[in-house]
Amino acid sequence: STSVVWIRNDLRLNDNIALAEAVKNLGEEDELLLLFHIHPELIREFDLQEDYFFQTVRKFHESSGPLHFIFGEEEEAFRSFFDTVTDAEDIYFNKAETGFGKERDERVLPVFEERGVRTHTYIDHPLHGAEEVTKKDGGLYQVFSPYFKQWQKLTKPPVVKLDTDKMKQHLTDRSGDFTDGEEKYRELTKAPLRKWEEVGEEAAEQRLTRFLDEPIYYYDEDRDIPSKDGTSLMSRYLRTGAISPRTVYHRVLQETDGRKRQDGVESFVRELAFRDFYHMVYYNHPEADDKELTEKFRGIPWNEDEEIFERWKEARTGFPFIDAAMAQMNESGWMHNRARMAVASFLTKDLLIDWRKGERYFNRKLADYEAASNIGGWQWAASTGTDAVPYFRVFNPVRQSERFDKHGDYIKEWLPELRNVPEKYIHEPHKMSEDEQKEAGCTIGEDYPEPMVDHKRMRERAIEIYKQKKD
Ligand code: FAD
């Protein structure tokens, strides 16, 4: 018979639970078929996010051996698959606990049942699954600190080993039967939107090696400075599954030197727990993608002006730190965490634009887009999440810039029009005199915009609106 491994956002051979288990259970005569399902919904708005994902699929395909592609709505696509692979008896996959993936899995399970195919599912994407970290009474946490305390106490799942030789012996190639899916895959991967340099399993492991070598010891301090290469850049690999959170966690423990500074190491582990926390919150609150978790903040009168939203998206707000951040994401598919907090606060509080719009825009552009973390981050910034920033704490975009990009290195990297602006004005270039603008080669209003809002006034307005809702 044939065992099918349904590959999804777990694009790696090492430490992939479903794959390792499927290989382990293969009998001598059994065949192993690797399957990838392209869902039309997931490629509807093909942008940087999808592009990076499919380039990772391509990388995985290069090392996995034959990978079979099917395309279409899940029920139809799988029925047709089982009509072709008539001896499929088992299907293995790492299940989705949240969002679209969860709904898709639920829709397709009856098809497996109807065809008499045994389903084997595992929790592989988070380090601890949504229901593993619970309070004494079995309930799920709403607040990160107590969650983290409990998270730390739990034994972490081990790294799983793949029997590569056995896998290779049993791999089957029936690509000839799946030309439609194959064609779709080729169409999606043949012309990447940008030159991605860090893609796939090998790149993930190398990057982690570099990070563990030295930067991790200073992570607690450097992680706030967007111009520094001080973070792990693991998010894109964790999102695509090019590396597993177990591998990251155990390598941190095994490869860091206990005699060196531990603040950075501890702070990094805490962030891995944050990923699990938001995963759990989204699992517990599936409505979070569309509804404010703090009920009293539902129905805020958001500004519907599309032109204002466009300026934020296109890095034309006139606040250099905000614009540098948006330019970084639009061009590179990644944005520094400090900058994500600042632009999300700016959109929701300074522009009073619906956080859902920002969340959806990030979904298109971020190579590391994870619904749970992104929704969590946006609801945090909009002060509507379970454990969010208080509504009256509004980030000052100029102050953020002065604190975290003191010399304007980050700004100058992403906004070439400000490269010759003197340090004194880099956070507020509109304050340059006409002569100074001339000298800097940057005319305000032409080369770079005036600030689009008065932060002080907008801050007061936002606080007032939130306050009215609260009371
Ligand atoms: P590092 O600082 O090296 O952190 C290590 C890992 O910990 C990350 O790879 C990530 O998996 C996890 N992590 C770190 N911070 C957070 C956090 N606040 N929440 C959840 N996990 C975290 N992260 C995503 O992975 N996908 C998203 O779509 C996403 N959207 C965000 C939206 C907003 C508005 C905000 C404020 C944050 C968002 N984050 C998101 C969290 C964070 O910004 C990124 O995880 C981080 O910048 C990724 O870079 P890194 O891998 O170098 O992180």
CA of 375 to the centre of ligand 1 (A): 11
Dist CA 70 CA 80 (whole Å): 9
Dist CA 404 CA 408 (whole Å): 9
Kindly indicate the confidence band of residue 290, based on its pLDDT and cuts at 50, 70 and 90: very high
Residues 6+ apart with CB under 8 A from 219: 230, 231, 232, 264, 265, 267, 268
| Other CB atoms within 10 Å distance of the CB of residue 135 | 12
Q: Kindly tell me the burial class for residue 278, based on how many C-beta atoms sit within 10 Å of its own C-beta (0-12, 13-18, 19 or more).
A: buried
The reply to whether ipTM tops 0.95 is yes
pLDDT at 401: 98
Residue owning the nearest CA to atom 37 of ligand 1: 377
Residue owning the nearest CA to atom 14 of ligand 1: 271
Grouping H, G, I as helix, E, B as strand and the rest as coil, residue 280 is helix
Domains of the chain, by residue range, sit at 1-124, 126-158+201-284, 295-470
Averaged pLDDT for residues 404-418? 98
Candidate from 219, 235, 282 with most ligand 1 atoms within 8 A of CB, to mutate: 235
Please state the φ and ψ torsions of residue 31, each to the nearest 5 degrees. Answer: -110, 155
CATH number attached to the domain at 1-124: 3.40.50.620
**Could you tell me which CATH class the domain 126-158+201-284 is placed in?**
mainly alpha
What are the tens digits of pLDDT across the range 316-338?
999 999 999 999 999 999 999 99
What are the tens digits of pLDDT across the range 445-460?
999 999 999 999 999 9
**Could you tell me which CATH class the domain 295-470 is placed in?**
mainly alpha
Contact 35, 7 (CB under 8 A): yes
pLDDT at 471: 85
CA of 235 to the centre of ligand 1 (A): 6
- Does residue 465 register a pLDDT over 90? yes
pLDDT at 470: 87
CB within 6 Å of ligand 1 — which residues?
Answer: 223, 231-235, 238-239, 271-272, 274-275, 278, 337, 340-341, 344, 362, 366, 368-370, 373-374, 376-378, 381
Tell me whether the CATH fold assigned to 1-124 matches the one assigned to 295-470.
no
Residue owning the nearest CA to atom 21 of ligand 1: 275
Averaged pLDDT for residues 142-151? 97
